[in-house]
Amino acid sequence: MFDRWLHSELVQQPGGDLSYEALVDSGRLSEDELLDCLGREVARNYIRPNELALVFDDLGAPEVATYVRTNKFPATVRVRHGDFGEIVTGALYRRVRRWCVPILKLRWKQTAGQAVQGTDVLAFRFREDPPVIAVPEVKTRATRKKALGQEAYASLEKVMDRLDESIHFAMARCSEAGPEFLVGHLAGLLRRPGHRVVERHMVFVHDTKTWKDDVVTLLAGVVQQRTELTVVKIPGLQDFVARVYKVAETGPSLAGKNGKGAGQ
The pTM assigned to this predicted structure is 0.90
| CA 179, chain centre distance (Å) | 21
Instruction: Note the pLDDT of residue 261.
Output: 34
The closest of 135, 154, 166, 170 to 224, measured between CA atoms, is 154
As a whole number of angstroms, the distance between CA 261 and CA 56 comes to: 6
Instruction: Note the pLDDT of residue 247.
Output: 92
Instruction: Note the pLDDT of residue 69.
Output: 79
Sequence-separated (6 or more) residues with CB below 8 Å from residue 218: 146, 147, 149, 150
As a whole number of angstroms, the distance between CA 246 and CA 203 comes to: 24
Residue 3: is it exposed, middle or buried by C-beta count within 10 angstroms (0-12/13-18/19+)? middle
As a whole number of angstroms, the distance between CA 262 and CA 256 comes to: 6
User: Contact at 8 Å (CB) between 212 and 184?
Assistant: no
Instruction: Note the pLDDT of residue 62.
Output: 72
Positions in the chain short of pLDDT 50: 255-264
Amino acid letter for position 151:
E
